[in-house]
Amino acid sequence: MTVRAARSRPERIIIGLSGGVDSAVAAHRLLEQGHQVEALFMKNWEEDDDPHGGYCAAAEDLADARAVAERLGIRLHTVNFATEYWDRVFEHFLAEYRALRTPNPDILCNREIKFAAFLEHALDLGAEAIATGHYARVEHGASGHRLCLCADANKDQTYFLHLLDQHQLAHTRFPLHDLSKPEVRAIARRLGLANAAKKDSTGICFIGERRFGEFLARYVDRTPGPIETPEGQVLGEHHGLAYYTIGQRQGLGIGGIAGGDEAPWFVAAKDQEHNRLIVVQGKHHPLLMAGSLHAQPPHWIAGEPPAAAPFDCLARLRHRQPLQRCTVETLGPEGCRVRFAAPQRAVTPGQSIVFYQGEACLGGAVVEHAAP
C-alpha cells in the first residue's frame, strides 16, 4: 500500500483549538504547510452549580484559544457539545462505574465528540478535514487509512484513538506526528505563544481539581463494606466498590497486619455478591497477574480483523505501557479471548486492550475480565 502521512495539496482545515500548547503548535504547522486554517473551540461540559465553579477551566481555556488564534491570525469558531457529551460519553461513564467497572471516558470522547460531532460540524462549515494536537500519525493510501504510532513513544496517543474508523481518519490530520513534546514547546516559545509553558491537562475534564470520589458520589451510590484478604481477614472498610479499581494502592486506609509482611496492599478483586473489596500484598501478587483475558467484540479500524483467529499481534492495556506480545485466540459475537506471552498485571474490567502490528494501531476492545 502506498502511504503518505500528510496531503500534498493545500486544504481547508479546521483545527480543534483547546487552549493548550499542542493544538496551538499544530495550527501553526498547518499554516506553514500552506493550508487554509480556521479553529474551533469545543465546550464539552456545562459548569455546575458548585459555589466554587470552574472546575473544567473552560473560560480560561477559551481565553487561551482566543489568544492563540489572534497570534496566528486565524478565525476561531466556538461550539457547545455539552449535550452530546452528556448523552454519548458521560451517561456511559456513570453506567460503567455503577456496574463496578473502570471506564476510560477519553476514548469514548474521541470517538463520539472530537472525531464525530466536531468532524460533522467542521464539514458543515465547509472544511475538507479536521486536525487536533494529538500525538499520532495517519497514513492515507489507496486501500485505506491507517492509524500509526507517532515519533515520540512517550507521548503517543493511539491508545486513546483506537475507536476511530475509516471515515474519521480520512478527514483527520495530526500535524504533531513527527515532533516530541520538548520540540513542540520550543516552537511555541519561538512563536511567542502565551501558552508555551502551560501545564498539560491531566485526568478527566469534568472532575478537574476535585477529588474523584467526591465527584462520583454525586451520581453513584456509596455502600460501605469490608476490606478483606483473600483468606477472609477483615482489614478495614471500603466506601463503595465502585470507588476502587483493580491494582489500586492509594486511598485504601489500611495498615499492615501485626507481625506480618509490611509490603503495600493493592486491590485485587471486587466481590459484588458480598460487597467485599479483596486486597493483597505485593505489586506482583499472583492474584494481580493474568495470562489471558476476555474482551468485548473488538472495533477494527480497517473494518475487519487483520486475519482469522488465532493470530499474533502486539497489545497494550494502558496508555504508555510497552507493547506486549499476545495471541488473539478467539473472535466472535460474544467477544474475544487474548493470551499474553508474559503475565499482565492489574487487568481491569472496563478498560481497553488495544492491538498493534508494527507501527499500525489495529483497533481494540473493552476488557470484560481477566483469566489467571
* Selected catalytic residue, list 109, 148, 326, 361: 109
* 205 given a catalytic annotation: yes
Nearest of 217, 235, 222 to residue 279 by alpha carbon:
235
| 280 is known to lie in a ligand binding site | no
Q: What pLDDT shows up at residue 139?
A: 96
Q: By C-alpha distance, which of 134, 13, 136 is closest to 77?
A: 13
Query: Which one, of 272, 286, 276, 265, lies nearest residue 228 by Cα?
Result: 276
Write out pLDDT tens, residues 296-341: 999 999 999 999 999 999 999 999 999 999 999 999 999 999 999 9
Amino acid symbol at 253: G
Distance from C-alpha of 223 to C-alpha of 221, rounded to nearest angstrom: 6
Reported as a single tens digit per residue, the pLDDT across 183-196 is 999 999 999 999 98
Q: Which three cell numbers stand for residue 209?
A: 481539581
Active site annotation includes 150: no
Per-residue pLDDT band at 55 (split at 50, 70, 90):
low
- Distance between CA atoms of residues 254 and 359, nearest Å: 43
Distances (CA, A) of 108 to 35, 86, 89, 111, 186: 29, 11, 6, 5, 31
The span from the CA of 112 to the CA of 123, in Å, is: 15
**Is 17 labelled a binding residue?**
yes
Rounded percentage of the chain residues whose pLDDT exceeds 90: 83
Could you tell me the fold of the domain covering 8-191?
Rossmann fold (3.40.50)
The response to whether 8 counts as a known ligand-binding position is no
Q: Is 62 annotated as a binding residue?
A: no
Q: What's the CA gap between 332 and 229, in Å, rounded?
A: 36
20 is known to lie in a ligand binding site: yes
> What does the alpha-carbon distance between residue 62 and residue 172 come to, in Å, rounded to a whole number?
22
Question: For the ranges 5-9, 249-253, 328-332, which has the lowest average pLDDT?
Answer: 5-9
| CATH code for the domain defined by 289-371 | 2.40.30.10
Contact 115, 147 (CB under 8 A): no
Say which CATH superfamily domain 222-283 falls into: Adenine nucleotide alpha hydrolases-like domains (2.30.30.280)
18 is in an annotated binding site: yes
DSSP letter, residue 111 = I
Q: Is 23 annotated as a binding residue?
A: yes
Residues 115 and 172 sit within 8 Å (Cβ to Cβ)? yes
1 annotated as a binding-site residue = no
Which one is catalytic: 56, 150, 205, 361?
A: 205
Q: How many CB atoms lie within 10 A of CB 313?
A: 20
Task: Sketch the domain layout of the chain as residue ranges.
Answer: 8-191, 222-283, 289-371
Nearest CA to 17 out of 62, 83, 81 is that of: 62
Give the model's pLDDT for residue 3. 40
3-state secondary structure of 276: strand
pLDDT category of residue 50 using cuts at 50, 70 and 90: very low
pLDDT of 2 above 50: no
DSSP 3-state of 85: helix
Distance in angstroms (rounded) separating the CA atoms of residues 147 and 149: 7
pLDDT tens-digit readout, 198-240: 888 766 767 766 688 888 999 999 999 999 999 999 999 999 9
Average pLDDT of the segment spanning 44-65: 71
